[in-house]
Amino acid sequence: MSNSELLKLVEERAGLWLDPFYDEETRAEVQRMLSSEDKTELIDSFYRDLEFGTGGLRGIMGAGSNRMNRYTIGAATQGMCNYLKKSFPELPEIKVVIGHDCRNNSRLYAETCAGIFAANGIRALVFEDLRPTPEMSFAIREYGCQSGIIITASHNPPEYNGFKAYWDDGAQLVAPHDEAVIGEVLAMKHENILFDGPQELITGLGAETDEKFIEMVKSASLSPELVQKYHDLKIVYTPIHGTGVKLVPMALRAYGFTNIINVPEQDVVSGNFPTVVSPNPEEPAAMKMAIEKAVETDADVVMATDPDSDRLGVATRNLKGDFVIINGNQTALLFIYYIIGKMRENGTLKGNEYVVKTIVSTEVIAEIARKNQIEYYDVYTGFKFIAEVIRENEGVKKYIGGGEESFGFLPADFVRDKDAVTSIAMMAEIVAWARSKGKTLYELLLDIYIEYGYSKEKTISVTRKGQSGAAEIQAMMVGFRENPPLAIGGSPVVWVKDYESLVSKNPATGESVPINQKTSSNVLQFLTGNGTKISVRPSGTEPKIKFYFEVKGVLNAYDGLDEAEADVDRRIDAMVKELGL
């Protein structure tokens, strides 16, 4: 399509938004873009419809079909309403929970969704103010609801917002519901959205729900006696301007911790995130102020949450006494190691426990599970797949933990999504457990590596531009499938796992075995004889491809750490060059 053809199409689409059906503010914004000499903003706002994917909507806020606004969110909500009424025709009343984070317009969007549900005869239980995503997930189950939504764009920049959809188990939509809802949303015309339903079908949720949630968070504690003994651990916590500002300190105090140190500048609730470029605890810059506060107060641990409090960041002192951020794989390792170890100490392991990890997460989790005779599951990236395993095993096996490398963990199944509120309380408890053994959190992590094997991970993202970039990414995947490497880093590739065909092949022997996954995914993995795992995963929404490297090393004692890290870093760098990245 030529530029002139694209502009004509965009102007026609934008012209429809000048209809009196749209509110005055929206029409004025569209008219401004149409009248502007620079058509860049107009094109970006209207060249497509904002995609409703399996996780919901996410995009930049503003007027237009490719923007987050009351009409695109309204279409998503009306589509949800239509599907809910088809799915639960026998119920006298369908109920949904609505939550939102700190972002600009989040409250407005939440109230818009509530009005649409009510207009469709569906009761909307709406949190009175911003609340963490895990509490919303909990409330779906607690109040016997059929669905839920949270208005959040997670850790994206301030101009973004989003709409995440959940089902009656408190988890994000999975098959067949995800595709069915997408179908309803795609078929939705704005003029068919029912706005502004009766207020009597909208119910507020507040302190009572907080208390119920915190009581469940407290029930996840495995070492209340150690918390009591080490209650005055110095814990620096920052919500990075988000929803954790109230509930996370409340959870820590419910556990029994009494020395919580705030970062006042970041306790300010703001969708503009004034103290950071990105409100993402994975980014060192987002943790900088909290770490400075920890140095100033001689704290034991630093913890942070993203705007909707589903991801957590943790920083602790290394062997040199400097604060370092523990990555998502290491956080998951500490949780799994602690939960299994503490349950063994408490004599509460019954033999039916299991843990869950994602296929791109560290294999050390699997090694911990194997050596402790704990069943483990490998699932695709995304907590909805972890929640799916929990649902399938409910009442038969006991879930004791699951996580992924992107700073998310779920330590208890009363929530069915990443839960940074419970995770932070439990991480503080792990610090106390380490202290009881005369160790720091960092030393505990090294103990895990010494006992179960040392490895290090690195993720490389390759991004290309435009349509040609998307074709190049596709060609890379085809090339890896048709001509997989026979050796990487000097070690033979012993298995090529293709999650699209769900077949794992040994390129040397030709042997093939099926991969135990219910659905396919465009992911490749190369496993070498020396334990290296390389996962290749293209993005479904942009011309980008990710390479996840995990390389095993040797660590026998604390004083060998520098040498082990340097060796693994050197090998990863060599493999990156070898693959032409």
Cis peptide before 484 (omega within 30 of 0): no
The catalytic position among 154, 309, 361, 504 is 154
Asked if 154 is an active-site residue, the reply is: yes
CB atoms within 10 A of CB 506: 15
Longest dimension (CA), the chain: 72
- Which parts of 199-304 fold into alpha helices (H)? 207-219, 224-229, 244-255, 284-297
Measure Cα distances from 527 to 384, 411, 487, 496, 552 in Å: 26, 29, 10, 6, 12
Q: What is the DSSP string of 457-506?
A: EEEEEEE--HHHHHHHHHHHHHHHHHS--SEETTEEEEEEEETTTTEEE-
CB atoms within 10 A of CB 383: 27
| CA atoms in the 13 A half-sphere facing the CB of 526 | 25
Task: Give residue for tokens 């549900």.
Answer: 117
| Cβ proximity of 242 and 279 under 8 Å | yes
Smallest CA-to-CA distance from 10 within 68, 57, 67 is with: 67
CA distance 555 to 35: 64
CB atoms within 10 A of CB 394: 12
| CA atoms in the 13 A half-sphere facing the CB of 17 | 28
Phi, psi of 161 (to 5 degrees): -150, 175
How many residues appear in the chain?
581
| Cβ proximity of 17 and 190 under 8 Å | no
Catalytic residues: 154
